[in-house]
Chains A and B, each alone.
Chain A
Amino acid sequence: QVVESGGGLAQPGRSLRLSCSSSGFGVGDYCMNWIRQAPGRGLEWVGFIRGKGHGGSTEYAASVKGRFTISRDDSNSVAYLEMSNLNSEDTGIYYCSKSSNSYGYGGWFDLWGQGTLVIVSS
């Protein structure tokens, strides 16, 4: 399973770090994704970090590129989403999801966490 944590209230322009802890598998063995859902809206892929087999490179949606950073700690099997320069459009539930492969493209999101809520407001 995967469990997200770290959500909460953040002021516009500030930063927040979310965590995704895995059990039953190592986050370094698969591509790990972050997906968000604004209130009452659909799903938006935020980005991913590839598995060790594909160099651990990252890709980001255009809406967050340059502001969000995904990393991971293989020894503790935790993936992170560091969010900076937050704005109101970043408000929503953030999900962590495991891909079915290490590369990302061509992989299915086969395991999801319960999500953590981020609210950006002054």
Chain B
Amino acid sequence: DIRLTQSPSLLSASIGDRVTITCRASQAINNYLAWYQQKPGKAPKLLLYAASILQSGVPSRFGGSGSGTEFTLTISSLQPEDFATYYCQHVKNYPLIFGPGTKVDIK
């Protein structure tokens, strides 16, 4: 099975900060990677797919990059509504795995 790790697991940041989250896969997954945002008590929401394509309606301050085994999610200027937990997920093959998550909270 492909394993995903995320770093950091907890990130404390301020409004306006540039934030970067890393997701690493245990083997190459091409660009079969998505990023989701989950706020407390809510369902996850797709932010980016194919590693770097912004889902419709998602603000352009969110960006993604990477291919193979290392991927990043960047928030260019953190906004109050961005405090949440972020998960990466690979969809290359069985089983579909989510990363352990990165919680972004207020510094």
Query: Residues of A with Cβ closer than 8 Å to B?
Result: 33, 35, 42-45, 48, 59, 61-62, 95, 100, 104-110, 112-115
Complexed CA–CA distance, A108 and B48 (Å):
9
One digit per residue, 1 when the CB lies within 8 angstroms of any chain A CB and 0 when it does not, for chain B 89-107 equals 1011111111111000000
Given contacts A109-B36, A114-B43, contact A45 B101 (CB under 8 A): no
CB distance from B56 to the nearest CB of A (A): 9
CB distance from B55 to the nearest CB of A (A): 7
Of A33, A59, A107, A109, the contact of B94 (CB 8 Å cutoff): A59
Q: Are B92 and A45 in contact (CB under 8 A)?
A: no
Task: Name 9 A/B residue pairs within 8 A (Cβ), A-sorted.
Answer: A43-B36, A44-B98, A95-B43, A95-B44, A104-B96, A105-B96, A107-B91, A108-B55, A110-B55
Whether B87 sits at the interface, judged by CB under 8 Å, is yes
Given contacts A42-B98, A44-B98, contact A109 B87 (CB under 8 A): no
Whether B45 sits at the interface, judged by CB under 8 Å, is yes
Given contacts A42-B87, A43-B98, A44-B98, contact A109 B46 (CB under 8 A): yes
Residues in B with CB closer than 8 Å to A33 are: 96
Complexed CA–CA distance, A109 and B87 (Å):
12
Given contacts A108-B34, A115-B43, contact A45 B98 (CB under 8 A): yes
Q: Are A109 and B89 in contact (CB under 8 A)?
A: yes
CB distance from A38 to the nearest CB of B (A): 13
Complexed CA–CA distance, A106 and B45 (Å):
17
Q: Are A105 and B94 in contact (CB under 8 A)?
A: yes
Complexed CA–CA distance, A95 and B87 (Å):
15
Residues in B with CB closer than 8 Å to A44 are: 98
